[in-house]
Structure 1
Amino acid sequence: MPPTDPTPPEAHSHDLLLRGVRVHYQEMGHGPTLLLLHDVFADHRAWRRVLPLLAQRFRVIVPDLPGFGASEKPTRYAFTREAFAETLCDLLAGVGAARAHVAGHALGAGIALTLAADHPEIVDRLALMHAVSNPAERSLGTRLPTIPLLGSLVFKQWFGRGMFHAHFRREVFAPGYRYDRATVDAWFEQFYPPEARECAWRTMERSVLDTSALGPKLAKVRAPTVVMWGDRARPSSQALGHQLVRQIRDARWELVAGAASGMWEEQPDAVAEGLIRYLLG
C-alpha cells in the first residue's frame, strides 16, 4: 500500500465529478488561483515540497489528472492533451475560478500549454517546466509504447518496480540525486493495477510520445510565459526549451541551478521563488 499522503495538513482534499469522471485535487492557500499539473507516472505529491511555499501567495489547486493518483481510472477517457485541458476547464469552473495561473511539468506542461492555447480567456500566466524531451534520450520504459505490437504488452505486463525507478533516476532527476524512494514506490503501487497501467499506456501513446500537435498551438498562446529548465538537464533538452521560448510570443527563459527535470523536488525553494516572482511580477 502507498505510504501516508505527505501533503501538509493545511491542504484540503476534495473530489469533483466532471463530465462523469471523478477528479481528486488538493487545495491550499489564499490569493490568485494557481493550477499545478504533474507529469505522467506521478500525482499531486510531486508538488509536496513546493506547495506550502506557493500557498503563502496563491490559492493553489493541485489535481490528480484522470487516470492517475486518487482520481478515477476511466479507461473510456480520451487521454489526449485536449481532453485533459477540457477537464481542467471544468475543474476551475467547479472551484469558482474564472481565471488562473497555470504551471506544469513535462506532460503537465504540455497540457498547460494546450489549455493556454485553446482557452486563452482562462489562463492568466503560464509556467512550463521541462515541457519537452529528446526522444532519443528517453529511458526504455518510456520508449516501450513506440515498439510495434510488443510495446503495449511489455508496458502493461512487465514494466516492473526496477524499470519504474530507473525512469525517475534517468529522466527526472540529476545523476546522483537522492530522490524520495518512498514517494516513487507509492506511485508504482498506484501504477501497478491493470486499469492504471492501461490509463498510463494511453496517456503515453496520445499525450507524451506524440508531440506533433503542440507545434501549431505555440503561436496561439497569448499568456505571458516562463519556460523553466534545470541546468543539469541534458544540453539537447535545454535546446528544446530555448526553441519554445523563440516560438511562444511572450516567453522568457529561467534556468534553475542544481536541478534536472525534477526541479520541483530537487530545488523547491528556487522553483517557488521563480514562480512567485514571475507570476506576480
Structure 2
Amino acid sequence: MTTEYTYEGTRKTAEIGGVVVSWHEAGEGDPLVLLHGSGPGVSAWSNFRHNLPVFAKRFRTIMPDMPGFGASGLPELDEFYATLAARRIALLLDHLQIESAAFTGNSMGGAVVAELAALHPERVKQMALIGSGGLSVGVFGTDPSEGFLRLFEFLDDPTRERMIGWIKTMVYDHRLITDELVDERMRNALADGVIARMKAIFGAMFNPTLRKGVPPLWTRAGTIKTPTLLLWGRDDRMLPYDHAHLANRLLPEVELHSFSRCGHWVQVERKSDFERVSTEFHTR
C-alpha cells in the first residue's frame, strides 16, 4: 500500500545562512536529495510530489525548494545562480547533519547538483540528472530553445495562454496538460513576488559580470568523477536530446538512458520507468 503524503505533512522550514529554506522530507534510509528545475510556478512539491511515495520507501527523501523558488527565500544574488544554489544546498546538508547524499536533479536542478559535485565532490555520492542544464551543450538546435522562448514570453506577459504554450514544450503527450495543472501553475506563478524573483534568478544566470571567473560547467566536466546517470526525453523541447551527448562524452563516470515519446518532464511522462531506473542506479 502506498503511503499518502501531503504538502504540509512533509514540509519543514529553517533559517539557514540568513534565509528561510523550505523543504519536504519523508522516508528512512540513505539520503536522497531531489532538486527541481526552473520555470513559472515551480517548486519541489510541484516537480516531484508524485515520485515521493516511491522514493520514500527506500530513502530518506529530501526535496528542497531552491533559493527563490517555492517557499524558500532568495538571498542576495551576488554570484552565478547555479553556484549560489549549490552552496546553499551544501548548507542545508550541514543543517540536516548529512555528510554526503545521492542526488537527482531536473533541468536547472541538474546543473546545481553538478556544480555541487564540482565544488564539493565529497558531498555527492552519485547523481541522476534529468534533462540537465550546465553540463549539456546543444549541437544541432537553435539557442535559445523553443522551451526557453515560451518561458521568457510568459515572464514578459504572464497570461494563461502563454502558460499553456510553455507547458506544451515540456511534455510530449499534451493530454497531460489538464486545467488542474494549468490552474496550479498559474496560481503559483502569479503569487506575490514570484515573477520578479524568476526574472532576478535568470538575470543572475546570464549576467556576464557574475559569470566572469566561472568557467562553463561543461568545460569542467572531465574533472567531475561522481558516478552519473543522464536521463533524457528524446522529444525534449527545452533542452533537446542532442544536449545529452557532449556530457555523455566528457564525464568520466557516466551512462545515458533516453526515453522515447517523452519531453522535458521525464519524472512525469515516464514516471514508473524513471523511478525504476533511478532507484536501480541509486541502490547499486
TM-score computed with the length of structure 2 as normaliser: 0.83
1:39 equivalent in structure 2: 37
**Does the 8 A contact of 1:40 with 1:203 survive in 2?**
no
For 1:237, what is the secondary structure of its paired residue? coil
After TM superposition, list the pairs within 5 Å mapping 1:135-146 onto structure 2.
135-139=143-147, 140-143=149-152
1:81 equivalent in structure 2: 82
1:50 equivalent in structure 2: 51
**Does the 8 A contact of 2:77 with 2:204 survive in 1?**
no
Say whether 1:167 aligns with 2:163. Answer: no
Q: Would the alpha carbon gap of residues 30 and 249 (structure 1) be closer, same or farther in structure 2, given more than 3 Å must change?
A: same
For 1:67, what is the secondary structure of its paired residue? coil
After TM superposition, list the pairs within 5 Å mapping 1:214-225 onto structure 2.
214-225=217-228
**Does the 8 A contact of 1:104 with 1:111 survive in 2?**
yes
Q: Could you tell me the percent identity over the aligned residues? A: 21
CA displacement 1:115-137 (0-9 Å, x = unmatched): 11111010000111101375243
For 2:223, what is the secondary structure of its paired residue? coil
For 1:159, what is the secondary structure of its paired residue? coil
Moved more, 266-275 or 10-19: 10-19
CA-CA distance at 1:206 after TM superposition: 3.0
CA-CA distance at 1:191 after TM superposition: 2.2
**Alpha-carbon distance between aligned partners in 2 of 1:236 and 1:204, rounded to the nearest angstrom:** 16
**Alpha-carbon distance between aligned partners in 2 of 1:221 and 1:181, rounded to the nearest angstrom:** 42
**Alpha-carbon distance between aligned partners in 2 of 1:236 and 1:163, rounded to the nearest angstrom:** 19
CA-CA distance at 1:251 after TM superposition: 0.6
Say whether 1:266 aligns with 2:245. Answer: no
1:114 equivalent in structure 2: 115
CA-CA distance at 1:266 after TM superposition: 1.1
Q: Would the alpha carbon gap of residues 35 and 136 (structure 1) be closer, same or farther in structure 2, given more than 3 Å must change?
A: same
**4+ residue segments displaced more than 6 Å:** 208-212
For 1:98, what is the secondary structure of its paired residue? coil
After TM superposition, list the pairs within 5 Å mapping 1:1-281 onto structure 2.
8-9=5-6, 12-41=10-39, 42-45=42-45, 46-72=47-73, 74=74, 76-78=76-78, 80-132=81-133, 135-139=143-147, 140-143=149-152, 155=155, 158-170=157-169, 172-193=170-191, 195-207=193-205, 213-233=216-236, 237-281=240-284
Moved more, 159-168 or 57-66: 159-168
**Does the 8 A contact of 1:104 with 1:128 survive in 2?**
yes
Q: Would the alpha carbon gap of residues 247 and 184 (structure 1) be closer, same or farther in structure 2, given more than 3 Å must change?
A: farther
CA-CA distance at 1:260 after TM superposition: 1.3
1:149 equivalent in structure 2: none
CA displacement 1:237-264 (0-9 Å, x = unmatched): 2121021111111010011344211111
Q: Would the alpha carbon gap of residues 180 and 273 (structure 1) be closer, same or farther in structure 2, given more than 3 Å must change?
A: farther
For 1:168, what is the secondary structure of its paired residue? helix
**Does the 8 A contact of 2:173 with 2:262 survive in 1?**
no
Alignment size in residue pairs = 263
For 2:225, what is the secondary structure of its paired residue? coil
TM-score computed with the length of structure 1 as normaliser: 0.84
Aligned CA-pair RMSD: 2.6
**Does the 8 A contact of 1:232 with 1:259 survive in 2?**
yes
Which consecutive unaligned segments of at least 5 residues does structure 2 have? none
